Amino acid sequence: MEHSNDLLLKIALTHLPQVGAVLTRNLVSFAGGVEAVFKQKKSQLEKIPGIGSKTAEVIVEKRSLAQAEKELEFIEKHKIKALFYLDEPYPFRLKRIKDSPLLLYYKGDADLNTTRILGIVGTRKPTAYGISQCEKILEYLKNMDVLVVSGLAYGIDVVAHRKALEVGLPTVGVMGSGLDRIYPAVHRKTASEMLENGGLVTEFGSGTKPDRENFPMRNRIIAGMCDALIVIESDVKGGSMITAEMANTYHKDVFALPGRSGDRWSRGCNYLIKTNRAALMDDAEDLVACMQWNEVKDKKEIQRALFVQLSEVEQKIYDLIESVAPVSVDKLFKESTLTASELASILLNLEFQGLVKALPGKLYMRI
């Protein structure tokens, strides 16, 4: 377990006034670590672009520690995990985006760095068609070891969470409030069930209300955490469209459920498809084919695969591929003496043997 003082300082960084995530990262980098930030002299801090005299004074006098102490007391009392961006448990997919949160408050048992993460968003007023299609997609995916992420909102969000729970898929709700402010309140029961198979995550500290301006920030976490995002019914404006735009910016695979021309809740999805901002998705098979997701193999089959005799060069490549975070093909190419075609052949062979998994963006990860 992380030492309380280390965690206290990390939380304190998030309470610095007028200092965003990007600037705070620069601050930590400049100082050489979190603890070092609070040991800097005011004159040294003022040299950092964006850190003015007032902010430097706040840091030197450790004014943000008082708020951090209250937050630390709260998360320790309620057994909440605080995931700092430099820590290994922090979602590696989210870490790649420029404006990712410095710190996430997380309660649950789901692996936020699992192999497959699917974001599902949509209107708060879905039609029977939208609800049915959302449920069919998750029914199809029930044996594919997918983590389902959404925003715990009315409509498609909560439909996705509840269906995921029903079919046994872990599901995580990303909140636009503190973990002590479940919103909407009518979803408390669902949120409680998610803690048993999934979890709740937010960048907002305890007591934070679900204010309007928090939800675009919530949406970027959904977009940043997932491998693929599905939009199931949306008008041309709204949170789902914002999330889809963010997902495109983050180079995620975006899918949209097509609808009848002229229907209000199909206009957004049809627009995304028409403008090539999302792939048309008729059913879950389209998603699985595009993402190259296959059903989870029988454990005995996987166990047999682990005892396959690898050649020396195959073993070397396999050793370079981590189980915690994906490795890019470019990195594998640079660290080996293979040609591009030789490397591609070996990766394909390792994949066929069930030892590694290809991910979007020319990435590979151990299974």
pLDDT tens for each residue of 87-142: 989 999 999 998 899 999 999 999 999 999 999 999 999 999 999 999 999 999 99
> Are 149 and 119 a contacting pair, CB within 8 Å?
yes
- 265 and 348 in a single domain? The answer is no
pLDDT in tens, 51-95: 888 889 889 888 889 999 999 999 999 999 999 999 989 999 999
Of 245, 273, 291, the domain-final residue: 291
- 64 and 130 in a single domain? The answer is no
Is pLDDT above 60 for 300?
no
- 271 and 137 in a single domain? The answer is yes
Domain count, the chain: 3
Helical axes 312-320 vs 340-352, angle rounded to 10°: 80
Phi, psi dihedrals of residue 343, rounded to the nearest 5°: -65, -45
Name, in order, each residue with C-beta under 8 angstroms of 4's C-beta and a sequence gap of 6 or more. Answer: 72, 76
Of 291, 314, 332, the domain-final residue: 291
pLDDT in tens, 251-286: 999 999 998 888 888 999 999 999 999 999 999 999
Of 271, 291, 311, the domain-final residue: 291
Domain that holds residue 53: 4-77
> Are 149 and 118 a contacting pair, CB within 8 Å?
yes
Residue 321 is classified by DSSP as S
In-domain check, residue 26: yes
pLDDT in tens, 168-186: 999 999 999 999 999 999 9
Residue 298 CB-density burial (10 A; 0-12 exposed, 13-18 middle, 19+ buried): exposed
In-domain check, residue 91: no
- 176 and 322 in a single domain? The answer is no
- 135 and 208 in a single domain? The answer is yes
In-domain check, residue 232: yes
- 115 and 217 in a single domain? The answer is yes
- 70 and 208 in a single domain? The answer is no
> Are 354 and 361 a contacting pair, CB within 8 Å?
no
C-alpha to C-alpha distance for 207 and 191, rounded to whole angstroms: 17
pLDDT (0 to 100) of residue 304: 41
In-domain check, residue 341: yes
pLDDT (0 to 100) of residue 312: 83
- 55 and 117 in a single domain? The answer is no
CATH of the domain at 23: 1.10.150.20
pLDDT (0 to 100) of residue 3: 59
- 359 and 283 in a single domain? The answer is no
- 276 and 152 in a single domain? The answer is yes
Average pLDDT, the chain: 90
Residue with tokens 């699992």: 114
CATH of the domain at 341: 1.10.10.10
β-bridge partners, 231: 121, 256
pLDDT (0 to 100) of residue 109: 95
C-alpha to C-alpha distance for 279 and 16, rounded to whole angstroms: 41
Confidence of residue 301 (pLDDT cuts 50, 70, 90): very low
- 261 and 208 in a single domain? The answer is yes
Q: Is the pTM of this model over 0.85?
A: no
Segment 7-14 mean pLDDT: 95
